[in-house]
Amino acid sequence: MPNSGYWSATRAPRYSLTFALPLLLAYEVLARVLSGETGIRNGADVLLKSLFVLLGGRHGLTVFGILLFGTGLFLVVRDWRLNGPPRGRFFLGMTLESGVYAFLFGGVTSVLTALLLQGPGLLMLVQGTSLALPTQLMVSLGAGLYEELLFRVILVSALARLATAGFGWKTLPAGIFATVLGALVFSAFHYIGPLGDTLTLSSFMFRMVAGLLLSGLFLLRGFGITAWTHALYDVILTVMGN
């Protein structure tokens, strides 16, 4: 039976992936425009594409693009045929929903992190950077798209599959294992490379809690809303830090 209600329908590919498409296009256009000045891209983007280049040589990026767009198009078309065309007003609701989550995300993560560390108050994770504002905004958009693709869609799904098929675990413990380990890897990723942040316990725990919340949001609301929530939150941090 087709799911026509807002909360169920907007998790489906015809909404979720279509909603994420402008984020992908905005990031790629900004990255291409700014590449001549800095050559900087989001780390998850670089990691994913470098893997394809390593495996496919000079055709690796082409294969990556075909796989990314081809898989997305296939899922959207199949969902469209099964459940009918998307409703425009649902995309407005998804935009408002992502904006609300983005504004609440930092505060909720801060409170949970402070409780875990038994801290006295909120932790505001605003890192200084020497990058120009347009580059920071580009990296923020890329974080929403490629970090969610890498750490939620690929990593958490792969870890859950490993736990069920490899370890023989049931769905719930496999999901908990995948979510927690995925959040640990997600947090650690932010301290790697020349642009990595300085490692502190508070910032590591903040990002781990953020990873857990983003995984929960991905499971409940799908990829598109999670990607935009992450991107908008990073954009808010960027604006606050400038």
**Does 87 reside within a domain?**
yes
- 163 burial (CB, 10 Å; 0-12 / 13-18 / 19+) is buried
Q: Provide the mean pLDDT of the chain.
A: 88
Q: Are 142 and 123 in contact (CB under 8 A)?
A: no
**Does 35 reside within a domain?**
yes
Q: How far is 31 from 47, CA to CA, in rounded Å?
A: 15
Q: What pLDDT shows up at residue 34?
A: 85
Alpha-carbon separation of residue 58 from 45, 51, 52, 55, 61 (angstroms) = 17, 12, 9, 9, 7
Q: What pLDDT shows up at residue 125?
A: 55
Reported confidence tier of residue 2, pLDDT bands at 50, 70, 90: very low
Q: Tell me: pLDDT of 3 over 60.
A: no
Q: How far is 235 from 239, CA to CA, in rounded Å?
A: 6
Q: Are 210 and 80 in contact (CB under 8 A)?
A: no
**Does 1 reside within a domain?**
no
Alpha-carbon separation of residue 130 from 6, 134, 144 (angstroms) = 42, 12, 21
Q: What pLDDT shows up at residue 93?
A: 96
If you average pLDDT over each of 25-39, 74-88, 166-180, which comes out highest? 74-88
228 versus 56: the higher-pLDDT residue is 228
Both structure tokens of 75: 């899922």
| Alpha-carbon 134 to chain mean position | 20
- Please give the tally of structural domains in the chain: 1
- For residue range 163-186, list pLDDT tens digits in order: 999 889 998 899 899 999 999 999
Q: How far is 75 from 206, CA to CA, in rounded Å?
A: 34
Residue span of the structural domain in which 137 resides: 6-240
Axis crossing angle, helix 88-117 with helix 13-34, rounded to the nearest 10: 80
Q: What pLDDT shows up at residue 42?
A: 83
pTM above 0.95, yes or no: no
- For residue range 142-168, list pLDDT tens digits in order: 999 999 999 999 999 899 999 999 889
**Does 136 reside within a domain?**
yes
- For residue range 13-30, list pLDDT tens digits in order: 999 999 999 999 999 999
**Does 33 reside within a domain?**
yes
